[in-house]
């Protein structure tokens, strides 16, 4: 358990696990160097084959002529079929049989090193063969022949590819000897060409396609005769044109019928409106009328004027309230009312004549009645024609499925006929080409002999051995850091155990004053944590314990006792309970091994667990804390003892100098 806070902590990891780092790095370098010289060499032989355009590559008829399902690509790549043929099991098996013969007659290689590797490889192969035979005897694995095993090995090391859109197949074969690799590629291409010629022979295709062409022609003639018969029945050149013509005529006639119905409705409405107007109009009208003044009103006006003159004469003698004046006023008002009731004029004579509007409406009514009758006759004729056209269309629709079926069969048969004719010509050409053993595969690059090995890359492996070894060593250091359960410092103690870290005591070394001062400072920190008020009032009993022997409990008690005595505090180790002003230190090591530790700690006011750095592990400390908590209900703190500074001071001084320089 190490807290990583700076570069110094990373350097600590290297020095803590320097043994593991050196072992892992050295092992990786040794393995890489040995592999560079001892791994079996692999050589590669290459060849290129050109698939010529203009002929089918693998099958007698292109698959696109008889597609069983929709392909994801609209364009077929024939090179893929050639690759499947080239890597097929029959060809691989023949190559394996031929190579077994070559291998049986092949002498051992020349040279001490090569011959040694040859016999070592042969011995290892014999051991594996013995293991295989044993497993086959007990039925663990299936029994296989040498040819099958070699064929499987050849298939794994043989590779054929081609670039997108290219018609060149690139062949690559990897083997332990360049001469063998070249011979295998040559034999592979030779066997492939022979097997391909035999597999793609077109011996019986010409007669088949010739018979199919004749059958398709007879079917086409029969379908055309049936279609012509049905078309003559309906009197049309094609069912589509007939249906379209009938539909157009029906649509036009329905539009005309709709217009006729609309016109009839409009005519009926006009007739009804005209009749209603005729009912409210007179037959005769007054043409001339003579008007004169009303003589009765004129007489009343003259009498009224006389009364008004009489009143004016009486006003010279009487007042307004005189009875004669009032009687005269009443007479005047009565005359004024009569004048108002009488009309101003009267008709003296008039001339009468027939009503011209009535005459015009009667003429319009007569015309509209005739037009209405014509429209109704036209509507009846349109209904009759529409019924005839719909009957003809129903007849055409009854025949249409039969014609559509015949047309589909005719189209399919015509397509088949075109394919059969094309395939017939191809089969004829293929038959002639097969007779001459003409192939559309050309070898544009023979099997190459490459003496340079492709594996292992000795120079590259030697160049990368040291960097790779360092990387492996660093990886091992990181894994050790993750797996290490030891407590190296107090950085994560409080977070891990949930208890305060009282102090961290470095490993005491009398050789340097710096180490002694650091230890004294850590002891003073522990001294500073003691509760002085309680010591003066009641005294203090401090118990120090550890999980196992040798973690420094007695040493820490002795150092703390000296410090307390130097500072004038009365202190003693063990014995009776503490008196006011006195500190009692309880030495209780090996908590997990000794029962006396529990007896000693039962009188302690404060309990601290001493943990030795780089020796105590997290599970052990957790177990000890659990026991203390169970027994005494508390643990007051943790003390880290013998904390080591793994990074040498010279390294730190060098880093400090470089840091100050930059």
Q: What is the pLDDT of residues 570-591, one digit of tens each?
A: 898 887 888 888 999 988 888 8
Residue 173 and residue 161 in contact, taking contact as beta carbons nearer than 8 Å: no
Task: Give pLDDT, residue 438.
Answer: 57
Q: In degrees rounded to 5, what are phi and psi of residue 4? A: -95, 110
CA–CA distance from 568 to each of 245, 556, 564 (Å)?
A: 129, 18, 6
Q: To the nearest 10°, the Cα dihedral for 617, 623, 627, 632?
A: 60
Helix or strand or coil: residue 167?
coil
Q: Is the predicted pLDDT of residue 509 greater than 80, yes or no?
A: no
Residue 582 and residue 570 in contact, taking contact as beta carbons nearer than 8 Å: yes
Query: CA angle 633-635-639, nearest 5°?
Result: 165
Phi and psi based region of residue 294 (left: phi greater than 0; alpha: psi -120 to 50; beta: remaining):
beta
Distance CA(109)–CA(111), nearest Å, equals: 7
Question: For the whole model, what pTM was predicted?
Answer: 0.51
Over residues 473-497, the pLDDT tens digits come to: 999 988 988 888 888 888 888 888 8
Q: Is the predicted pLDDT of residue 96 greater than 70, yes or no?
A: yes
Q: Is the predicted pLDDT of residue 265 greater than 80, yes or no?
A: yes
Task: Give pLDDT, residue 490.
Answer: 80
Question: 163 Cβ partners below 8 Å, 6+ apart?
Answer: none
Q: Is the predicted pLDDT of residue 351 greater than 80, yes or no?
A: no
Task: Give pLDDT, residue 322.
Answer: 79
Lowest mean pLDDT among 196-200, 259-263, 367-371: 196-200
- What's the rounded mean pLDDT across residues 208-227? 86
Q: Is the predicted pLDDT of residue 382 greater than 70, yes or no?
A: yes
- What's the rounded mean pLDDT across residues 354-380? 82
Task: Give pLDDT, residue 60.
Answer: 45
> Looking at 507-581, which runs of residues are DSSP E strands?
540-546, 570-573
Task: Give pLDDT, residue 1.
Answer: 67
User: Dmax over Cα atoms in the chain, in whole Å?
Assistant: 185
- What's the rounded mean pLDDT across residues 43-52? 85
Task: Give pLDDT, residue 69.
Answer: 45
Q: Residue 535: name the closest of 584, 585, 582 by CA.
A: 582
**Confidence bin at 515 (pLDDT 50/70/90):** low
Strand-pairing partners, residue 351, are 288
Q: To the nearest 10°, the Cα dihedral for 151, 153, 156, 161?
A: -50
Residue 56 and residue 78 in contact, taking contact as beta carbons nearer than 8 Å: yes
Task: Give pLDDT, residue 25.
Answer: 92
Structure tokens belonging to residue 179: 């001469």
Task: Give pLDDT, residue 611.
Answer: 92
Task: Give pLDDT, residue 476.
Answer: 92
Q: Is the predicted pLDDT of residue 516 greater than 60, yes or no?
A: yes
The topology under which CATH files domain 487-661 is Rossmann fold (3.40.50)
Q: In the chain, pLDDT over 70 holds for what percent of residues?
A: 86
- Looking only at the bridges linking them, the beta strands covering 168-175 and 345-354 are unpaired
For the chain, what's the residue count? 662
Distance CA(553)–CA(546), nearest Å, equals: 7
Over residues 289-298, the pLDDT tens digits come to: 666 677 777 7
Task: Give pLDDT, residue 164.
Answer: 82
- What's the rounded mean pLDDT across residues 623-639? 90
Distance CA(117)–CA(122), nearest Å, equals: 8
Task: Give pLDDT, residue 28.
Answer: 92
How far, in whole angstroms, is CA 340 from its chain's centroid? 104
Q: Is the predicted pLDDT of residue 65 greater than 60, yes or no?
A: no
Strand-pairing partners, residue 640, are 504, 611
Residue 572 and residue 508 in contact, taking contact as beta carbons nearer than 8 Å: no
**Confidence bin at 24 (pLDDT 50/70/90):** very high
Helix or strand or coil: residue 641?
strand
The second-level CATH assignment, the architecture, of 205-283+355-436 is Orthogonal Bundle (1.10)
């Amino acid at each position: 358990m190490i807290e990583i806070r700076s570069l110094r902590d990373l350097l600590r990891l290297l020095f803590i696990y320097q043994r593991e780092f050196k072992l892992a790095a050295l092992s990786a370098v040794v393995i890489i160097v040995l592999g560079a010289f001892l791994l079996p060499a692999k050589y590669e032989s290459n060849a290129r084959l050109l698939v010529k355009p203009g002929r089918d590559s693998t099958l007698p008829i292109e698959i696109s002529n008889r597609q069983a399902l929709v392909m994801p690509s609209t364009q077929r790549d024939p090179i893929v079929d050639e690759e499947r043929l080239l890597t097929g099991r029959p060809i691989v098996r023949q190559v394996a049989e031929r190579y077994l013969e070559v291998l049986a007659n092949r002498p051992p290689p020349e040279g001490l090193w090569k011959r040694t590797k040859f016999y070592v490889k042969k011995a290892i192969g014999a051991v594996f063969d013995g293991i295989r035979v044993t497993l086959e005897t007990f039925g663990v694995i299936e029994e296989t022949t040498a040819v099958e095993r070699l064929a499987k090995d050849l298939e794994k090391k043989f590779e054929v590819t081609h670039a997108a859109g290219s018609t060149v197949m690139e062949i690559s074969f990897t083997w332990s000897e360049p001469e063998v690799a070249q011979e295998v590629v040559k034999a592979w291409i030779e066997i492939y060409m022979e097997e391909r010629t035999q597999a793609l022979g077109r011996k019986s295709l010409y007669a088949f396609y010739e018979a199919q062409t004749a059958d398709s022609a007879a079917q086409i003639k029969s379908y055309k005769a049936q279609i012509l018969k049905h078309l003559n029945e309906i009197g049309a050149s094609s069912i589509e044109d007939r249906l379209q013509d009938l539909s157009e005529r029906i649509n036009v006639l329905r539009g005309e019928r709709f217009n006729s119905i609309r016109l009839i409705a409009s005519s009926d409405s006009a007739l009804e409106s005209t009749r209603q107007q005729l009912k409210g109009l007179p037959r005769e009208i007054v043409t001339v009328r003579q008007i004169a003044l009303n003589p009765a009103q004129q007489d009343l006006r003259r009498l009224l004027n006389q009364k008004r003159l009489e009143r004016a004469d009486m006003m010279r003698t009487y007042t307004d309230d005189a009875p004669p004046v009032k009687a005269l006023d009443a007479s005047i008002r009565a005359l004024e009312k009569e004048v108002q009731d009488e009309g101003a004029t009267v008709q003296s004579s008039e001339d009468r004549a027939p009503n011209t509007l009535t005459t015009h409406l009667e003429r319009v009514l007569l015309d509209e009645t005739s037009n209405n009758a014509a429209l109704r006759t036209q509507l009846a004729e349109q209904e009759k024609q529409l019924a005839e056209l719909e009957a003809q269309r129903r007849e055409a629709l009854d025949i249409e499925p039969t014609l559509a079926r015949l047309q589909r069969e005719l189209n399919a048969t015509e397509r088949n006929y075109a394919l059969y004719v094309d395939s017939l010509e191809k089969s004829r050409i293929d038959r002639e080409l097969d007779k001459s053993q003409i192939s559309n595969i050309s070898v544009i690059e023979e099997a190459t002999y490459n003496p340079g090995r492709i594996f292992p890359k000795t120079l590259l492996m030697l160049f990368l051995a040291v960097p790779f070894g360092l990387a492996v060593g660093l990886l091992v250091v990181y894994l050790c850091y993750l797996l290490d359960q030891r407590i190296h410092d107090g950085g994560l103690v409080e977070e891990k155990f949930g208890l305060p870290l009282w102090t961290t005591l470095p490993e005491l070394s009398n050789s340097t004053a710096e180490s002694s001062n650091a230890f004294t400072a850590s002891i003073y920190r522990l001294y500073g944590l003691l509760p002085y008020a309680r010591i003066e009032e009641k005294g203090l009993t401090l118990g120090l314990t550890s999980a196992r022997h040798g973690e420094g409990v007695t040493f820490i008690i002795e150092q703390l006792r000296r410090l307390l005595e130097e500072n004038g505090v009365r202190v003693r180790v063990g014995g009776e309970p503490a008196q006011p002003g006195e500190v009692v230190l309880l030495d209780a090591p090996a908590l997990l091994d000794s029962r006396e530790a529990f007896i000693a700690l039962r009188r302690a006011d404060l309990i601290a667990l001493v943990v030795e750095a780089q020796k105590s592990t997290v599970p052990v400390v957790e177990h000890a804390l659990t026991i203390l908590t169970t027994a005494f209900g508390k643990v007051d703190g943790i003390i880290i003892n013998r904390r080591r500074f793994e990074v040498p001071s010279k390294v730190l001084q060098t880093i400090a100098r470089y840091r100050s320089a930059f």
